[in-house]
Structure 1
Amino acid sequence: MNSRANQLKAFDRLLTIMDELREQCPWDKKQTMETLRHLTIEETYELGDAILDNDLQEIKKELGDVLLHIVFYSKIGSETNDFDIADVCHSICDKLVHRHPHIYGDVKVTDEADVKRNWEQIKLKEGKGKTSVLEGVPKSLPALVKANRIQDKVAGVGFDWEQPHQVWEKVEEELAEFKHEVDQGNTDAMENEFGDVLFSMVNYARFLKINPENALERTNKKFTKRFQYLESKARSLNKSLKDMTLEEMDVFWEEAKKL
């Protein structure tokens, strides 16, 4: 691994290149925070894909892309004298020190749960004009991720179940209510109850230390791999999937499950 001196030298190199690109490259000169925003989101998802694939070389590349965006935003901020990369670094350093009083202060904790509770309580005190821990959950998060963050947030201030079996009982209760609305055929009520089922399942996953987003994405990848195997087998037989029976497709599907 590189020494701290080499790490700082590499970061300085990136800052220098960013200065040069912003001054000399037609594309980089035109960018604003607004034009970079959707690209940043895309890069973050690409990093997430690499992490799920456990591809360490790809993770390294994607981390570089995300870091570039952080430096880019900071460069733009410096041009209007609002903030620069040093301000960004000091801001997160100050926040980390303040939110870890068990490391940088005299607060005592016994486990991770204590740390999380302290974190949320400190955040609530920090928020100017904020009256809810949920105000820190971004509105634009995907619904599944948002549900998980909401439950994390409220658990951090003590609003939580005590045992996993209690959460599972809630899942069963919500499933029964969903089934009732399905039997009634009320589409709006079905959607409402289905949302409750998903929310309760996310909560149960949290109790089991399962990340629901990762779990669902693993299933997406698994299904995609198996379906693409099915497609390739159909092509090898010069057949179209729509011309095959479910029984024929199931043979290849079972083969795919063994791969």
Structure 2
Amino acid sequence: MSDRYTLDDLLYLMQRLRDPQHGCPWDLEQDFASIVPHTLEEAYEVADAIAMQDYPQLSGELGDLLFQVVYYAQLGREAGHFDWEQVVDGITRKLVRRHPHVFPDGNLHTPAGTLAIEADQVKQRWEEIKAEERAEKAAQPQQLSLLDDVPAALPALSRAQKLQKRAASAGFDWSEAAPVVAKLSEEMDEIREAIAEGDQQAVAEEVGDFLFCAVNLARHLKVDAETALRDGNAKFERRFRYIEDQLAQAGESIEQAGLARLDQLWDEAKRAGL
């Protein structure tokens, strides 16, 4: 069996793909923006493999995601913005800085076990350091918003949770879940009012408020909203497929079955633990 390829080999492969004379025509056409959809797709495929606990598949998906980072690094090198070494150096320095409880003197090679710290202190210090970093980035700190670096391209549920968490770091938050439950009920009432008024734009706005509040409740209950909805999607899919299978076995058409029959099969799927 031949020796395994290394990260250096992957970096070399990327250079070959982007070689102006002998590279891959498709790869040569790509730029930062055109690669973004592929990066998002690969990240979701990583999440799917984890959700299915398919670890052999996860290994391959992580490779695909790593290749995306290598791709951006190559594009950055060609444009003179940055290179792979700067990417690695930057993340390493940032993580050393954000973990003073592990690297108390700011040195990556600090001997382990030289400083103990509680988990709550770690979280608090992490937020403090990130706030310091955001302030350092701002040319005019007085105009800096806490929300400035929350990526707009995040999935909506994840972004809502991150926006809320960032606001909470400044004290803009309820201290417990009960008021959030009450707010969720209030948002539902506002949806009903908008429906009664026949104002579709208001309906859409109120539904958005309801979803944002639902994410807030999930956060207070220490539930990741994006993961919870992914799990909910998977549950719906399992139960709907059960309905399709049962109807197919009975020689019935799902279009002709009727809602009562579909509800009956849905309840069967629930009782079956699907």
TM-score bucket (shorter structure): 0.7 to 0.9
User: In the TM superposition, what are the counterparts of 1:96-111 in structure 2 within 5 Å?
Assistant: 96-105=95-104, 110=118, 111=120
1:88 counterpart residue number = 87
Aligned 1:211-250 pairs, distance under 5 A? 211-250=224-263
Mapped to 2, the partners of 1:78 and 1:153 lie a distance apart of 33
C-alpha displacement at 1:178, in angstroms?
A: 2.9
Partner of 2:173: 160
CA distance in 2, matches of 1:214, 1:182: 30
> Is residue 140 from structure 1 mapped to residue 153 from structure 2 by the alignment?
yes
In structure 1, C-alpha distance between the alignment counterparts of 2:232 and 2:249, rounded to whole Å: 26
CA-to-aligned-CA distance 1:160-217 (integer Å, 9 cap, x gap): 2212223223223323333333344433333322222211111111011101111111
Identify which range, 97-106 or 198-207, moves more after superposition.
Answer: 97-106
Q: Do the aligned partners of residues 255 and 169 (structure 1) sit closer, same or farther apart at CA in structure 2, a change above 3 Å counting?
A: closer
Amino acid at match of 1:133: L
Compute the displacement of 1:54 (Å). Answer: 2.4
Q: Confirm or deny that 1:186 pairs with 2:199.
A: yes
Q: Assess, with a 3 A threshold, how the Cα gap between structure 1 residues 65 and 82 changes in structure 2: closer, same or farther.
A: same
Partner of 1:51: 50
TM-score normalised by structure 1 residue count: 0.85
Which segment is superposed worse, 51-60 or 181-190?
181-190
In the TM superposition, residue 136 of structure 1 has moved relative to its aligned partner by: 0.7
SS at 2:255's partner residue?
helix
Deviation at 1:133, TM superposition (A): 1.1
Gaps (5+ residues) in structure 1?
A: 1-5
Residues 97 and 104 of structure 1 are in contact (CA less than 8 Å); yes or no, is this contact kept in structure 2? yes
Corresponding residue of 1:74: 73
**Mean alpha-carbon deviation: is it higher for 118-127 or for 146-155?**
118-127
Partner of 1:125: 135
Structure 1 residues 138, 184: CA separation in 2 closer, same or farther (over 3 Å shift)? same
Number of matched residues? 253
Identify, as 1 or 2, the structure richer in helix. Answer: 1
TM superposition shift of 1:19: 2.9
Deviation of residue 116 (structure 1)?
4.4
| 1:198 alignment partner in structure 2 | 211
CA contact (8 A) 1:120 1:153 kept: no
Range 187-196 or range 134-143, more displaced: 187-196
By how many angstroms is 1:113 displaced?
4.1
Q: Which AA in structure 2 matches 1:47?
A: V
Question: For the residues of structure 2 that align with 1:124 and 1:31, how far apart are their CA atoms?
Answer: 31
Q: Secondary structure at the match of 1:243?
A: coil
Contact 1:22/1:29, CA 8 A, preserved across alignment? yes
1:64 aligns with 63
Letter in 2 for 1:228: R
One-letter code aligned to 1:12: D
Query: 1:165 is matched by which residue type in structure 2?
Result: A
Q: Which moved more, 1:208-217 or 1:235-244?
A: 235-244
Identity %: 36
Residue aligned with 1:241, SS: coil
